[in-house]
Copies of this chain bind each other. A is one copy, B any other.
Amino acid sequence: MLFEILMRSCIHHAWQSQTLALPNPSVACMVLSGNNEVLALQAHAKAHTPHAEVLALRQAFNALSPTPYPARLDPLDKEANYNFLAKNHAGLFKDCTLLVTLEPCNHFGKTPPCASLLEQVRPKKVIIGALEPSLKAKGGCDRLKKAGIEVLSGVLEKACKDLLIPFTCLESKGVFNLFKIATRLDGSYQGAISGQESQIFTHNQRTVAKNLIISGQSVRLDRPTLNTRFATPPYEGLCNVVILTRSTHSFDRTIPLFNAKGREVRICHQVEQLPLDQGFNVIEGGWVLLESLQEQIDMLLIHRNSSFGGSEALSLGPRPALNRRFMPLHTQRLGQDILAWFA
């Protein structure tokens, strides 16, 4: 039961940066001492930064080693951290148990695989949630077993697999389309809604997305900027914006989104013209837009703010006629908002 509770905590931690590591999966790793004290909990929260296993071993090194982890090693540097741990572990982790939501990778890229690092640092036990679905990265589990490390896999496997949906979607189909909506408690969704923590999350997500797709109605009513000003760390780039509108009236070009440098803004008049066949796309809109795109949507993310719409008239328009059903995967508090993910 202890390992299930701790794996649940890893899963929860990984969801906090769900989609932000794309095209990589969201993965979390925990390191336990021989007495099952939690020494580290880390997630892989951005591509081109160290995997969760490396970050967690780094944190655990500091808890176990009489000499501190060298401060000069940037925590975001994949190679430097990997190599330091491989050379300097000095048997520190021999009584440790690692929990990982995903089988450690076995794929040689810019750095050698995590499975090879674990082979070298030799923890006592590795507990795995889901097996690696990617052909090129699988085999980590077998590698650890051959090295004589005790391996237990399939702990909360279903929940760990759910965590991988954006990654497996993008990997297997070449596209992952996320529909995102922000609502208030009463279901209203016009105007600015989300709390600060939610905005930071959304802006971080935009730094990873290929296209941001939005309805012409939202552009006209909300006059959005659609940039990444709240991203952490600060981010200069902008994702491309695609506006879906049936109207042939031109847009007021003083709406801020049109005036950001280095961004492409496309206007589409038909669903078929939308770039929904490639990459990670975030579609922000209301239920009517979801209805139009329902066949192409892979996941749904609702940010629900704890406010009400005030005394303005409430008009949600026609209800969506949806042929498909979304199932809740995960829910989390984020400041004054509640985020809920559905697939």
Please tell me if A6 contacts chain B, counting CB pairs below 8 Å.
Answer: yes
In the complex, how many angstroms separate the beta carbon of A291 from the nearest chain B beta carbon? 9
Residue A240, interface by CB 8 Å: no
Q: Is the CB of B333 within 8 A of A331?
A: yes
CB of A338 within 8 A of CB of B328, answer yes
For A307, list chain B residues within 8 Å (CB).
325
Nearest Cβ distance between residue A189 and chain B, in whole angstroms? 8
CB distance from A253 to the nearest CB of B (A): 33
The docked-state distance in angstroms from the alpha carbon of A312 to that of B318 is 8
Interface string of A187-201 (1 = CB under 8 A from B): 110000000000000
Please give, as numbers and ranges, the residues of chain B lying within 8 Å of A188 by CB-CB distance.
187, 319
A308 within 8 A of partner (CB): yes
A73, CB-defined interface residue at 8 Å: no
Q: Is A91 an interface residue (CB 8 A)?
A: no
Contact between B319 and A310, CB atoms less than 8 A apart: yes
The answer on a CB contact under 8 Å between B340 and A186 is: no
The interface stretch among A33-41, A48-56, A108-116, A164-172 is A33-41
Q: Within 8 Å of chain B (Cβ to Cβ): is A147? A: no
Residues of B near A322 (CB, < 8 A) are: 308
Cα distance, A41 to B2, chains bound together (Å) = 10
Residue among A310, A319, A325, A327 with most chain B CB within 10 A:
A319
**Cβ proximity bits A280-291 to B, threshold 8 Å, 1 near / 0 not:** 000000010000
- For residue A309, CB closer than 8 A to chain B, the reply is yes
A186 and B36 in contact, given A327-B336, A328-B333, A338-B331 (Cβ under 8 angstroms):
no
Cβ–Cβ < 8 Å partners of A314 in chain B: 316-319
Q: Are B36 and A2 neighbours in the complex by a CB distance under 8 Å?
A: yes
> Is the C-beta of A8 less than 8 angstroms from some C-beta in chain B?
yes
Complex contacts, A304 vs chain B, CB 8 Å: 340
A225: CB under 8 A from chain B? no
Beta-carbon contact of A186 and B306 below 8 Å: no
A306 to B319, Cβ gap below 8 A?
no
| A302, CB-defined interface residue at 8 Å | yes
Q: Is the CB of A316 within 8 A of B319?
A: no
Q: Chain B residues near A221: list those with CB within 8 A.
A: none
Contact assessment for B331 and A331 in the assembled complex, using a CB-CB cutoff below 8 Å: yes
Compute how far the CA of A319 lies from the CA of B187 in the bound complex, rounded to whole angstroms: 10
Mask of A75-111 contacts with B, CB within 8 angstroms, 1/0:
0000000000000000000000000000000000000
Residues 157-191 of A at the B interface (beta carbon under 8 Å): 183, 185-188
Interface: A1 (CB within 8 A): yes
Bound Cα distance A9, B333 (Å): 15
Closest to A36 in B: B36
Complex alpha-carbon distance, A328 and B312, angstroms: 24
- Offer 6 A-B interface pairs, CB within 8 angstroms, sorted by A: A35-B35, A185-B300, A186-B316, A188-B319, A308-B322, A331-B333
Q: Interface of A with B (CB < 8 Å)?
A: 1-2, 5-6, 8-9, 32, 35-39, 41, 183, 185-188, 287, 300, 302, 304, 306-314, 316-322, 325-328, 330-333, 336-338, 340, 342
Leading 9 A-B pairs by shortest Cβ distance = A187-B187, A36-B36, A1-B38, A314-B319, A309-B319, A311-B321, A2-B38, A5-B9, A331-B331
